[in-house]
DNA sequence: CAAAGTCAAGAGCAGTGCTCTCAAAAGTTG
DNA sequence: CAACTTTTGAGAGCACTGCTCTTGACTTTG
């Protein structure tokens, strides 16, 4: 975090070259991620592609885990940017449209970058634990955006009351209230609970597709399937 | 593949010992899976635990991928058995109860065997592709059971009509009709579509929990959260 | 211009999947 | 029971992995 403690001293030709090399490594890392999967990420292979001996890479990246962290942050931010872009393209008051755009953006990015998606939302990499202080902020951008849409819709009175809501048990209501207070939201527990369900369901649907859980040709109309699922989920929270 | 062409000749002391050794290897494999993750599965480590040199293991398991396949089938069947057990414990006509039991069984097994769960529903293992002819049958047991419950409920007229159903687009309706015919179901497209959503959402919720997507202490009441989510999903399909 | 800092290379350690050869053990058969 | 056949385990070896350490060269800076 406090690596460059001098906020804006002078870039210098050296740090520029160094930053460029690190960026190249991340780029190659993403390619390897997409082609061979997260846990097959090899610093040696990256060094080869970089035209350099393996040990040289350690000058720029502390370890394989460090590279994984860099890729994690990079991927989270790319996903977050993609979501922001598509959501912001719609009117602020178009809550349902914004939710559907968010969902489509997640799916689109995931299908296009299955390796990175697997790193973020797939099985945890065996010996690796993400450093929370650097990954939580980028890692929560999508859910923040999602609850933001819900909250805005609720504040605008645009959420239609949903029927057949099961009661939220005491313990869960407490957790939800804590989340609401921490994020400064205005949503009732029932809506927040359904929002969490929508969140997990969205990624469940995307994961099924990206990880190949559907049969090879059970759902050729995957786009339509996903769209229909998201519309159903939108209805579930009254959007 | 057609190793034992004589269906039921004589077990023989040799094949018995061999089968036992393979069973031991699978058992150790499952332990390693749980402790170090799917892609860190090492035949050499298993050989060590087995008290044998690495090359000896290849006498029993063709390759690392073959062992992965064996573990995959084993895990699918364990999950299937767990689900069957819990579902069958309830009356045939208790459709909603059976669905909730199925969901709880999936979650329970997943939490208890995160390694195996990750192998089945997490990121695909880099160089590995499951042989469909041996894994599809055990791999579809849960969804078969789920649609079975839905179909039975529908045939019994126990599915309450759900409001606000988005229309199922043409292409998707075709896919769903094909699935329905192939499985001999009686469900209308709208219900089947929602059934698929429930399916993916169930595993989305479980994956979030098992893969640690929730913050470390955002939802201490995970049991209640899951239960509430499943009840909401049950309502979604009219159960 | 020389000191300080940075860099790539190479050797080396311990681990991996997998193949091969060879001798011992075990079961099967006459 | 002895001879034969099959199965088994051990060991060496290949190519790969992450990572560390030392060495020599190169660039930037005071």
For the stretch B82-138, pLDDT in tens is 999 999 999 999 999 999 999 999 999 999 999 999 999 999 887 788 999 999 999
From the list A1, A48, A6, the residue with the least C-alpha distance to A29 is: A48
Instruction: Report if CB B55 to strand C is under 7 Å.
Output: yes
A11's CB contacts (< 8 A; 6+ apart) are none
At residue A8, the pLDDT reads 39
Work out the pLDDT band at A162, boundaries 50, 70, 90: confident
Question: Hey, are the CB atoms on B37 and A124 less than 8 Å from each other?
Answer: yes
pLDDT above 70 (res A9): no
Q: Mean pLDDT check: name the lowest of A12-16, A50-54, B69-73.
A: A12-16
Locate A227 and state its tokens. 């769209």
pLDDT above 50 (res B154): yes
How far does Cα A2 stand from its chain's mean position? 25
CA separation for the pair B105, B99 (Å, rounded): 10
Locate A182 and state its tokens. 């921490």
At residue B147, the pLDDT reads 98
Work out the pLDDT band at A5, boundaries 50, 70, 90: very low
A174's CB contacts (< 8 A; 6+ apart) are B221
At residue A11, the pLDDT reads 59
From the list B151, B155, B159, B149, the residue with the least C-alpha distance to B86 is: B149
pLDDT above 90 (res B22): yes
Segment A170-186 mean pLDDT:
97
CA separation for the pair A32, A43 (Å, rounded): 10
More confident residue, B231 or B37: B231
Nearest CA in chain B to A167: B228
Segment B5-13 mean pLDDT:
49
Instruction: Report if CB B44 to strand C is under 7 Å.
Output: yes
Q: Contacts of residue A126 in chain B, CB cutoff 8 Å?
A: 36-37, 39-40
Q: DSSP alpha helices (H): ranges in A89-159?
A: 95-112, 114-121, 132-139, 141-155
Structural contact between residues B172 and A223, judged by C-beta atoms closer than 8 angstroms: no
For A204, which of B136, B193, B201 is closest by C-beta distance?
Answer: B201
Work out the pLDDT band at A102, boundaries 50, 70, 90: very high
pLDDT above 80 (res A2): no
CA separation for the pair A46, A28 (Å, rounded): 6
CA separation for the pair A166, A159 (Å, rounded): 18
For A166, which of B126, B168, B235 is closest by C-beta distance?
Answer: B235
pLDDT in tens, B197-232: 999 999 999 999 999 999 889 999 999 999 999 999
pLDDT above 50 (res A7): no
At residue A32, the pLDDT reads 87
Q: How far is CA A165 from CA A190, A191, B106, B213, in A?
A: 7, 9, 23, 25
Work out the pLDDT band at A41, boundaries 50, 70, 90: confident
Nucleotides in chain C with any atom closer than 7 Å to protein CB = 6-12, 15-21, 26-28
CA separation for the pair B145, B140 (Å, rounded): 9
From the list B112, B130, B134, B38, the residue with the least C-alpha distance to A213 is: B130
Instruction: Report if CB A21 to strand C is under 7 Å.
Output: yes
DSSP 8-state secondary structure symbol assigned to residue B8: T
At residue B9, the pLDDT reads 44
* 3-state SS assignment for residue A224: helix
A38's CB contacts (< 8 A; 6+ apart) are A68, A115, A118, A119, A122, A125, B123
Work out the pLDDT band at B166, boundaries 50, 70, 90: confident
Chain-wide mean pLDDT for chain B?
92
Instruction: Report if CB A56 to strand C is under 7 Å.
Output: yes
Q: Which among A125, A220, A228 is the top mutation candidate for probing chain B, defined by the most B β-carbons within 10 Å of its own β-carbon?
A: A228
Work out the pLDDT band at A12, boundaries 50, 70, 90: low
Q: What is the dihedral of CA B147, B152, B156, B160, to 10 degrees?
A: -20
Work out the pLDDT band at A6, boundaries 50, 70, 90: very low
Segment B149-163 mean pLDDT:
94
For A204, which of B123, B132, B204 is closest by C-beta distance?
Answer: B204
- C1' nearest to CA of B56: which nucleotide? D9
B17's CB contacts (< 8 A; 6+ apart) are none
Q: Mean pLDDT check: name the lowest of A160-174, A196-210, B63-77, B187-201.
A: A160-174
pLDDT above 80 (res B164): no
Segment B171-199 mean pLDDT:
97
At residue A3, the pLDDT reads 38
The 8 Å CB, 24+ separation contacts for B195-198 are: B195/B146, B195/B147, B195/B150, B195/B237, B196/A225, B196/A229, B197/A201, B197/A205, B197/A229, B197/A232, B197/A233, B197/B236, B198/B146, B198/B233, B198/B234, B198/B236, B198/B237
DSSP 8-state secondary structure symbol assigned to residue B135: H
Tokens 């459709």 correspond to B95
In our burial notation (b when 16+ CB lie closer than 10 A, e otherwise), range B88-117 reads eebeeeebbbbbbbbbbbbbbbbeebbbbb
Structural contact between residues A191 and A95, judged by C-beta atoms closer than 8 angstroms: no
From the list A203, A209, A238, A204, the residue with the least C-alpha distance to A221 is: A209
């Amino acid at each position: 975090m406090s690596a460059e403690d001098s906020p804006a001293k002078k870039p210098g030709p050296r740090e520029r070259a160094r930053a460029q090399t690190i960026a190249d490594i991340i780029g190659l890392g993403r390619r390897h991620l997409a082609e061979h999967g997260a846990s097959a990420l090899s610093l040696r292979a990256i060094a080869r592609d970089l035209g350099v001996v393996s040990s040289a890479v350690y000058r720029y990246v502390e370890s394989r885990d460090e590279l994984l962290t860099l890729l994690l942050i990079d991927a989270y931010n790319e996903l977050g940017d993609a979501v922001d872009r598509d959501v912001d393209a719609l009117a602020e008051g178009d809550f349902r449209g914004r939710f559907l755009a968010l969902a489509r953006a997640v799916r689109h990015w995931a299908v296009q970058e299955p390796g990175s998606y697997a790193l973020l939302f797939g099985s945890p990499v065996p010996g690796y634990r993400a450093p929370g202080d650097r990954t939580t902020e980028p890692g929560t951008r999508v859910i923040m955006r999602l609850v933001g849409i819900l909250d805005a819709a609720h504040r605008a009175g645009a959420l239609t009351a949903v029927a057949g809501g099961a009661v939220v048990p005491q313990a869960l209501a407490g957790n939800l209230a804590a989340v609401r207070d921490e994020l400064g939201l205005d949503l009732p527990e029932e809506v927040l609970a359904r929002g969490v369900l929508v969140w997990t369901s969205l990624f469940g649907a995307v994961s099924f597709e990206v990880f190949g859980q559907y049969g090879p040709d059970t759902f050729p109309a995957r786009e339509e399937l996903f769209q229909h699922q998201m519309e159903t989920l939108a209805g579930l929270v009254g959007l």
